[in-house]
């Protein structure tokens, strides 16, 4: 084959066929082209037959794309290649030798639902309270242990993550899987490694068979994938790993950056080729990415360059608060779309966490921008948000049967389906609400056992909150309701990556409620949001997604909001060893998604867990090349330029927002004092009643608010 379509470094990687090779492929440098061209070159040069080549990827989509590209060059020979994901290739090997690990030839690979059901049975046998320690928490921990190559006998007590009897439960889980002739996805690689260890002849066969091994996204490999590859590559050592240490962003699901960093230690004669010519972005964008990522210590090092041109400066904008930030993004996009400068599909808003999508969704709806949330549901469609709304609805309206039906057993209250059916039937027969039916049946003694106590407690709480639904700010009321009914604790107990995301969404939901004066106003708004969303589902649309979900994608214009310490980098990462370095890699990924225009932004204050807090700009912003950044301060005179970030880093933002009083300051003596509220503006305290303030606002009239939601203005 000819290499005229490859640059010098790409051609070098394709033609270096013998020995271990690490290709450090920066963002937008054509790594897929190199991988496929390399395989085609090996086949066409008769260095190996297709069946002697193993290529592993992380997704079926990537494997399919590689096959399609190669088919155009080598035709049907592509069907003889071993190309697939780690799990699919490992499953193929396990099917050939199941007896080595005690499985039958017809073993079943069980999915996540079956895993969950099996674990629930085991937890019941061990008398584990699944409300406090859910099956999902055990499943997540066991999966991580398998990624780290830890069988039950290798688990130490300090690795339990607070889950009782983890070692024994893991052991029981594996025994039950074996008994039912089953394996989960984590087992596939582990059983392969066990086969290689216990049957040297089988290992020798596959070592000889795979003369050439190619690995995509090597920076994302975990311990079991690493060991599996190492075992297979020992003989011929013709292994080519393509990856980018600067884009290693999945440690939370087991990926270990050390695998790519120690490649030269694992293979003594390894060659490293750096792909640094970027075909995607302007030089200003690449310089910004390099300026940030070079602050990481754990990396091989490279510097991307391009022939695309310098392009526009990267914009960095500061805003008074998060609402101003999302409004700016929406208005800017609306202007761009109106002028037909960029198609909606070529615009993306990349957020650090899923909960951040809400403010942008609402801002887009307000100015009729079509949008889609990639990799997740729209905010108000998310299960935990719908559940939270249902709790507020039933507390506001005792006759809301749909809301009560949704939350009656969420979290589990021991109310069986038969009991619920009987209640519903009684309500229909007597033409009364679901709530009233429960109340009457309890009074009549027709509900017994555990369900009786649970339902009595439930309706008592609902009735109590119904009486006080308008006595406090909606945000505070929602927080109290969701805590009191055990909904927040349900997700806290699960203690998984998924549950942490759901908790973030719940907190964002609580924050959103303080934009509304009454529950009626909020529920009407939700209905309107959902109605408007229907018009934004199809056709061209702006993309909203997390940065993790954006990896591998590219857009003409990219917005990266929320660049504040505690948001990006996340608060948790700041406290963890090597956490900030991974967050910096995530920042690098976000920047390099942009082809032409990149707009970074931060808010000087934002609602966090129901209260307005001052924010410190992300430490990553200090690392940007200041001479190539267009800095704009939208918190002052409509985008006046400012010279740097030092004031915002060092002086705080007392001049921008009112200061929060101490609780001791909220006394009767505050009567007559001037205060500030984020939504309602300035007002005067008329009366103090405990934690509640009667306030006459200058623009919106009289309101009763909790003390935590106002600030002293003077």
Name the residues annotated as catalytic: 31-32, 216-217, 247, 593
Strands 640-641 and 629-633: antiparallel
Measured CA angle at 407 (ends 401, 513), to 5 deg: 95
Q: Which DSSP state fits 53?
A: E
Chain centroid to CA 658: 33
Strand partners, 21: 240, 271
Strand partners, 697: 683, 701
Helix (H, G, I), strand (E, B) or coil at 690: coil
- One DSSP character per residue, 476-508 reads HHHHHHHHHTTHHHHHHHH-SHHHHHHHHHHHH
CA dist 602 → 143, 335, 599, 627, 650 (Å): 36, 21, 10, 19, 15
Q: At what angle do helices 223-233 and 200-209 cross, to 10 degrees?
A: 80
Strand partners, 695: 685, 703
- 39: exposed, middle or buried (Cβ count in 10 Å: 0-12, 13-18, 19+): buried
Q: Which DSSP state fits 659?
A: B
Strands 692-697 and 701-706: antiparallel
* Residue 182, phi-psi category: left (phi > 0), alpha (psi -120 to 50), beta (remainder): beta
Question: What element of type H or E holds 558?
Answer: strand 555-560
Strands 347-351 and 555-560: parallel
Please tell me the distance from the alpha carbon of residue 185 to that of residue 139, in angstroms, as a whole number.
Answer: 12
Please tell me the distance from the alpha carbon of residue 231 to that of residue 2, in angstroms, as a whole number.
Answer: 33
Helices (H), 16-134: 31-44, 60-74, 86-96, 112-125
Is it true that the peptide bond before 411 is cis, omega within 30 degrees of 0?
yes
Who's near 650: CB < 8 A, 6+ residues apart?
Answer: none
Closest CA to 708 of 669, 672, 665, 671: 665
The two tokens of residue 235 are 């003989």
Residue 122 CB-half CA count within 13 A? 26
- One DSSP character per residue, 434-471 reads HHHHHHHHHHTT-S-HHHHHHHHHHHHHHHHHHHHTTS
Strand partners, 545: 350
């Amino acid at each position: 084959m000819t290499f005229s379509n490859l640059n010098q470094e790409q051609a070098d990687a394709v033609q270096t066929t013998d020995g271990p090779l690490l290709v450090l492929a920066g963002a937008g440098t054509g790594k897929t082209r190199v991988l496929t061209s390399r395989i085609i070159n090996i086949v066409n040069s008769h260095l190996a037959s297709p069946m002697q080549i193993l290529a592993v990827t992380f997704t079926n989509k990537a494997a399919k794309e590689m096959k399609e590209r190669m088919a155009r060059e080598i035709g049907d020979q592509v069907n003889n290649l071993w190309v697939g994901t780690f799990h699919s290739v490992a499953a193929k090997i396990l099917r050939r030798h199941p007896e080595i690990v005690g499985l039958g030839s017809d073993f079943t690979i069980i999915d996540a639902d079956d895993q969950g059901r099996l674990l629930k049975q085991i937890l019941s046998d061990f008398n584990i309270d699944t409300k406090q320690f859910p099956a999902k928490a055990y499943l997540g921990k066991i999966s991580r242990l398998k990624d780290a190559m830890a069988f039950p006998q290798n688990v130490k007590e300090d690795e339990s993550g607070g889950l009782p009897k983890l070692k024994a439960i893991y052991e029981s889980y594996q025994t039950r899987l074996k008994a039912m002739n089953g394996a989960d996805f984590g087992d596939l690689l582990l059983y392969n490694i066990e086969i290689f260890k216990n049957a040297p002849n089988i290992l020798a066969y596959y070592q000889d068979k795979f003369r050439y091994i190619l690995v995509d996204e090597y920076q994302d490999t975990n311990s079991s994938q690493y060991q599996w590859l190492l075992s297979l590559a020992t003989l011929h050592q013709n292994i080519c790993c393509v990856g980018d240490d600067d884009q290693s962003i999945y440690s939370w699901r087991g990926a270990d950056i050390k695998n790519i960093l120690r490649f030269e230690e694992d293979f003594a004669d390894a060659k490293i080729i750096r792909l640094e010519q970027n075909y995607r972005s302007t030089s200003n964008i690449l310089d910004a990415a390099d300026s940030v990522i070079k602050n990481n210590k754990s990396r091989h090092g490279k510097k991307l360059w391009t022939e695309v041109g310098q392009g526009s400066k990267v914009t960095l904008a500061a805003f008074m608060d998060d609402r101003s930030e999302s409004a700016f993004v929406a208005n800017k996009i609306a202007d761009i779309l109106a002028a037909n400068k960029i198609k909606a599909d070529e615009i993306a808003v990349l957020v650090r966490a899923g909960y951040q999508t809400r403010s942008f969704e609402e801002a887009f709806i307000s100015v009729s921008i079509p949008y889609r949330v990639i990799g997740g549901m729209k905010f108000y469609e998310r299960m935990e948000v719908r559940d939270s709304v249902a709790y507020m609805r039933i507390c506001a309206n005792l006759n809301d049967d749909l809301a009560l039906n949704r939350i009656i057993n969420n979290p589990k209250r021991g109310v069986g389906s038969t009991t619920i059916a009987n209640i519903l039937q009684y309500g229909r027969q007597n033409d009364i609400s679901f709530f009233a039916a429960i109340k009457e049946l309890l009074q009549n003694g027709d509900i017994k056992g555990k369900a009786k106590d649970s339902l009595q407690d439930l309706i008592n709480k609902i009735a109590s909150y119904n009486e006080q639904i308008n006595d406090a700010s909606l945000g505070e009321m929602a927080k109290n309701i969701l805590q009191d009914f055990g909904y927040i604790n349900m997700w806290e107990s699960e203690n998984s990556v998924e549950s942490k995301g759901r908790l973030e969404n719940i907190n964002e939901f609580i924050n959103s409620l303080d934009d509304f004066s009454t529950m009626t106003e909020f529920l009407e708004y939700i209905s309107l949001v959902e109605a408007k969303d229907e018009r934004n589902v199809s056709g061209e649309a702006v993309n909203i997604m997390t940065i993790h979900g954006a990896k591998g994608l590219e857009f003409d214009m990219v917005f990266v909001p929320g660049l504040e310490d505690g948001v990006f980098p996340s608060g948790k990462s700041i406290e963890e060893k090597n956490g900030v370095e991974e967050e910096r890699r995530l920042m690098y990924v976000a920047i390099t998604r942009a082809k032409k225009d990149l707009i970074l932004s931060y808010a000087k204050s934002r609602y966090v867990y129901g209260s307005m807090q001052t924010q410190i700009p992300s430490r990553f912003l200090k690392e940007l090349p200041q001479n190539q950044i267009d800095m704009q301060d939208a918190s002052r005179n409509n985008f006046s330029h400012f010279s740097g970030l030092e004031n915002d880093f060092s002086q705080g933002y007392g001049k921008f927002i009112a200061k929060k009083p101490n609780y001791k300051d909220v006394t009767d003596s505050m009567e007559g004092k001037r205060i500030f509220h984020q939504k309602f503006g300035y007002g005067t305290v008329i009366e103090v009643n405990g934690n509640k303030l009667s306030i006459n606002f200058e623009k919106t009239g009289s309101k009763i608010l909790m003390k935590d939601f106002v600030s002293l203005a003077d």
